[in-house]
Amino acid sequence: MMQKKLKTTALYIVILAAGLGSGYGLSLLPGLFKSNYVEGNYAAYFPNPQSKVVLYGTDWCGYCAKTRAYFKENKIEFVDLDIEKSPEAKKAHEALGGGGVPLVLIGNRKIQGYNADALQAALKKIAG
């Protein structure tokens, strides 16, 4: 009797785990199809015609710091705009859709958040 109860309980645990696992997996599915960037004409958001890379961020954001470090390590010149210290930067960030920081413009690509692969691909595109 005890063994049957144990088997039934184990079966319920397996079913519950499978259900939770598949639910979690399905929640990740939309992210697999989402692009790492959005293409568009962002020329109006570059402070000068020579700029090729713009970072909208804050000084307290860890992912902004990672993005800055990535650019510095790879010797990428970029314009660093703090949306909390510059009303113009805040306005531009909102016009670009806001949605958090960092928001990076590289050529005609807008990259939301820190994504080294997306940054590298966009930098390659403007280089060559």
Q: Which CATH superfamily is domain 38-127 in?
A: Glutaredoxin (3.40.30.10)
In tens, the pLDDT along 68-124 reads 999 999 999 999 999 999 999 999 999 999 889 999 999 999 999 999 999 999 999
In tens, the pLDDT along 1-43 reads 788 888 898 888 888 888 877 777 666 665 555 678 888 899 8
Buried b / exposed e across 36-74, counting CB within 10 Å, b at 16+? Answer: ebeeeebeebbeeeeebbbbbbbeebeebeebbebbeee
- Domain map (residue ranges) of the chain: 1-34, 38-127
